[in-house]
A and B are shown apart, each in its own frame.
Chain A
Amino acid sequence: MDNRNTRRQRFSRRDFLRTLLTGGVAFTGIAASETVFGTKRNFNNRQPAPKEHGESHSNFGTVGEVDYQANGFDPHEMLYDWDYGEISTLPTGQTLREYQIVAVDKEIEIAPGVYFPGWMYNGRIPGPSLRCTEGDRIRIEFVNASAHPHTIHFHGIHAASMDGVPGVGAGEIGTGESTVYEFDAAPFGCHLYHCHATPLKRHIHKGLYGAFIVDPDPKKYQGQKREVAKTRNHAYQENEQYNEMLMVMNGFDTNFDGGNEVYAVNSIAFGYMKKPIQIRANQKQRIYLINITEFDPINSIHIHANFFDYYDHGTTLEPTLKIVDTIMQCQAQRGIVEFSFEGFEPGKYMFHAHQSEFAELGWMGFFEVVDG
């Protein structure tokens, strides 16, 4: 009796075990599969996108504000901040424009709370926007107050000794040293200058570059071309019908891994998105656009809801591309973009690099078109 009892007991235990191992496990297994693997199995049932994650648009972009005062420059002022130099007339009657450019090392805030140890001309990136008329004599006293040797190399026509490259003419200018670059401004167009000290890549991406705008001299052209030249020359009243802006497309490699963490026009990520550029609908718009972005082969601009004419290098009075809404530039390529928002509904019109990556890393902004 005792024996049978134990045996029965053991049987029941085994039964229990068997139940657990077969039925129970199988049943609970199905439940588990549904809970844990369910999402994986329903691959065909997947929704087009996960649920609406609130206002996803407002979640994009940087957090906070850049302190322009601490930086010493404001990207909005930079748009219109042309440097005409100290003007005088040479005995020959030629206009002389004298500039002093000082290379310095300074930390600037390029995105809210992100600081870049830059090298720059006159304490700003991009450096001063030099503006003159073709045929002017340009004299630049270059002082190097940076801890590294630098040069200024101009894109323009000049003598070999004025080229601002290592080993030619004054060559690299050491710390505390200075030199004078002198040449006649030619040809007219939208140009740039930059440091050509080696290693070139680092000297450029650190911030040593700026705009060099040479306006055409209307006296040298006839008929329609003269009229166009007048609108391009800052000294003529015809120029005032244009809202002229300088945009230098640049990037910053904050962790020095050979790729940019920040892209922008005029250095500040989303600078023109947080505060749009106000433009009047009835005014013609002209952008002097320069690409100095390091590490990436090209950069580009796309203007929303509108089309523009493009003058590659700005060296012609006729557009080189008509009615386009996107153009691209390799490094040091530049040009003039002309458009108008006349007759458009007032509002915010976006412009950005049409490399989505650059756009989302800071090279994106708005024109805020206002009436009148």
Chain B
Amino acid sequence: MNSKKDTFGSRGSISIWISALIPLLAIALLITLFLLGDPLALFSNSLPPIEELTFERIRITDDGFEATLINGGPDPVTISQVLVDEAYWKFEIIPSGSISRLGRATLFIPYPWVEYEAHEIVVITPSGATFSEEVPLSTPSPSFGWREFAAYGLIGVYVGVVPVVLGMLWYPAMKAIDRKWLGAILALTVGLLVFLLIDTLLEAFEIAAELPGFFQGIPLTLFVALLTWLGLLALGERQRAGKRSSGTNPGLYLASMIALGIGLHNLGEGLAIGAAFASGEASLGSFLVIGFMLHNLTEGIGIAAPLLPGSRPDAQKHRRVGLSTFAWLALLAGAPAIIGAWFGGFAFSPIFATIFLGIGLGAIWQVIVEVFNLLRDYADHEDTPLFSVLNVIGFSVGILIMYLTAFLVKF
């Protein structure tokens, strides 16, 4: 009986495999026939090849420019000549020869660039098509050294960790405040998170738009965000299921989630700042860093808000939150800015930036949902309307603070 079942079962799985392979074999056969027959010869008679090159990064060295190119087109592309500022210039390309589809190559152009001035690099392919990229402000790109490493790391500390820590210092004041203000503080948190969501989305789209077409930058951003959100939802369910038995602090869990979301957003900011410093675009220098510090100050409030006693009606009793917890939260929210600054400064890659910003988007969205739920629970518990004047004002203040402090960093 048993053995009969087994034979039947294995025979069944073989036939499933075969039937699953049939469409694949059929399409392989059809593709072969299509390529052999070349039915499109009529259309592609003497068409020039489609060429698509994207400048990924231009490094400026004492000797000139190092430009990394990606071939995003369907055909290999050869670089025949290079122009800098409308003048033919000598160059070396590594690897030599043509750049294969989805391949990369780096151009080394010895050029006497002028400090603090703009230059334009144009490459010409055999068909005479041109692809260009501007160096908006020439200044040597950071080379990888301990001094530079420390300096860029410090920018990250300033932009990420410092403001979050400073923002958290409001925690005692927030704790002392009257209960009726709690809702407003949570609403303020939602407001600033909504601002960060929009900000991250636009930043992601901007970088995604520069990616070669085959990466499908904008869908990539959105799908990464969607998957991140789903992942966090699943994680949240597990957390909720386990919380009763393990007795973890739900407020702390939410604070960690907010810190993570903000951290991923700060990673994006770090990337942008690092890249800006590296490319010399950050002509405002220290002003930009100070701007980001003020801008990110509010993030500390957002992280600390769910830790407030009474913010969570279902919490059996409030647990003390230790300094180490705050330190860990600040690190979670702020440290990614350091990593971002390093990547932005030394190895900016639009594709990784897009993915990280997509993750940030999903995380922030999930955090908004969670804080909003918390706010609703709080409102139910306190028997106050969800959209009370106080809450709406809190939300508006959150957005307004972020918007106004962004004046310091957007230009």
Q: Determine if chain A interacts with chain B.
A: yes
A36-B139 contact in complex given A60-B87, A114-B81, A255-B130, C-beta closer than 8 Å: no
Nearest-Cβ distance from residue B337 to partner chain A, whole angstroms: 14
B372 interface residue, CB < 8 Å from A? no
Q: Which residue of B89, B91, B125, B154 contacts A28 across the interface (Cβ within 8 Å)? A: B154
Specify the chain A residue showing the minimal Cβ separation from B80: A113
A113-B81 contact in complex given A21-B162, A60-B88, C-beta closer than 8 Å: yes
Question: How many residues does chain A have at the interface if contact means C-beta atoms less than 8 Å apart?
Answer: 50
Q: How far is the CA of A37 from the CA of B273 in the complex (A)?
A: 13
Beta-carbon contact of A39 and B139 below 8 Å: yes
B114 interface residue, CB < 8 Å from A? yes
A255-B115 contact in complex given A37-B286, A63-B91, C-beta closer than 8 Å: no
Q: How far is the CA of A66 from the CA of B152 in the complex (A)?
A: 47
Nearest-Cβ distance from residue B366 to partner chain A, whole angstroms: 30
Within 20-59 of A, Cβ neighbours of B (below 8 Å) are at: 21, 25, 28-29, 31-33, 35-37, 39-41, 43, 46-47, 49-51, 53-54, 56, 58-59
Nearest-Cβ distance from residue A190 to partner chain B, whole angstroms: 29
Beta-carbon contact of B110 and A114 below 8 Å: no
Q: How far is the CA of A50 from the CA of B152 in the complex (A)?
A: 24
Beta-carbon contact of B80 and A32 below 8 Å: no
Scoring A residues 111 to 142 as 1 if CB is less than 8 Å from chain B, else 0, what string do you get?
11111110000000000000000000000000
Within 155-203 of B, Cβ neighbours of A (below 8 Å) are at: 155, 157-158, 162, 165-166
Specify the chain B residue showing the minimal Cβ separation from A269: B88
Q: Which residue of A61, A113, A255, A269 contacts B90 across the interface (Cβ within 8 Å)? A: A61
B150 interface residue, CB < 8 Å from A? yes
Residues of B with C-beta under 8 A to A270? 88
Beta-carbon contact of B128 and A261 below 8 Å: yes
Q: How far is the CA of A29 from the CA of B165 in the complex (A)?
A: 16
A361 interface residue, CB < 8 Å from B? yes
A50-B147 contact in complex given A114-B80, A254-B128, C-beta closer than 8 Å: no
A275 interface residue, CB < 8 Å from B? no
Q: Which residue of B83, B88, B111, B129 contacts A53 across the interface (Cβ within 8 Å)? A: B111
Q: How far is the CA of A261 from the CA of B82 in the complex (A)?
A: 11
Beta-carbon contact of B116 and A35 below 8 Å: no
Beta-carbon contact of A32 and B130 below 8 Å: no
Residues of A with C-beta under 8 A to B140? 39
Q: How far is the CA of A163 from the CA of B398 in the complex (A)?
A: 76
Beta-carbon contact of A360 and B87 below 8 Å: yes
Beta-carbon contact of B124 and A254 below 8 Å: yes
Residues of A with C-beta under 8 A to B139? 39-40
Q: Which residue of A13, A40, A46, A58 contacts B285 across the interface (Cβ within 8 Å)? A: A40
Beta-carbon contact of A115 and B154 below 8 Å: no
Q: Which residue of B115, B165, B285 contacts A37 across the interface (Cβ within 8 Å)? A: B285
Beta-carbon contact of A255 and B128 below 8 Å: yes
Nearest-Cβ distance from residue B300 to partner chain A, whole angstroms: 12
Nearest-Cβ distance from residue B136 to partner chain A, whole angstroms: 14
Specify the chain B residue showing the minimal Cβ separation from A358: B86
Interface centre among A40, A41, A58, A360 (most CB of B within 10 A): A40
Beta-carbon contact of A31 and B151 below 8 Å: yes
A116-B151 contact in complex given A49-B112, A62-B81, C-beta closer than 8 Å: no
Q: How far is the CA of A114 from the CA of B151 in the complex (A)?
A: 44
A77 interface residue, CB < 8 Å from B? no
Residues of B with C-beta under 8 A to A210? none
A35-B130 contact in complex given A25-B162, A46-B115, A361-B83, C-beta closer than 8 Å: no
Scoring B residues 53 to 64 as 1 if CB is less than 8 Å from chain A, else 0, what string do you get?
000000000111
A187 interface residue, CB < 8 Å from B? no
Within 298-331 of B, Cβ neighbours of A (below 8 Å) are at: 323
B134 interface residue, CB < 8 Å from A? no
Q: How far is the CA of A60 from the CA of B82 in the complex (A)?
A: 10
Nearest-Cβ distance from residue B129 to partner chain A, whole angstroms: 5
Residues of A with C-beta under 8 A to B115? 46-47, 49-50
Residues of A with C-beta under 8 A to B81? 62-63, 111-114
A53-B112 contact in complex given A33-B286, A37-B286, A112-B81, C-beta closer than 8 Å: yes
Within 219-273 of A, Cβ neighbours of B (below 8 Å) are at: 252, 254-255, 257, 261, 269-270
Q: How far is the CA of A57 from the CA of B127 in the complex (A)?
A: 28
A362 interface residue, CB < 8 Å from B? yes
Within 313-372 of A, Cβ neighbours of B (below 8 Å) are at: 357, 360-362
Nearest-Cβ distance from residue B324 to partner chain A, whole angstroms: 9
Q: List 10 A-B contacts (CB under 8 A).
A: A21-B166, A32-B151, A36-B285, A50-B115, A61-B89, A113-B78, A114-B124, A115-B127, A117-B48, A261-B130
Q: Which residues of A contact B (CB under 8 A)?
A: 10, 13, 17, 21, 25, 28-29, 31-33, 35-37, 39-41, 43, 46-47, 49-51, 53-54, 56, 58-64, 111-117, 252, 254-255, 257, 261, 269-270, 357, 360-362
Given contact pairs A53-B111, A53-B112, A269-B88, enumerate 4 new A-B contacts (beta carbons under 8 Å).
Answer: A36-B152, A37-B285, A47-B115, A49-B115
Instruction: Give the top 7 A-B pairs by smallest Cβ distance, nearest first.
Output: A254-B128, A113-B80, A360-B87, A35-B151, A32-B154, A37-B285, A59-B110
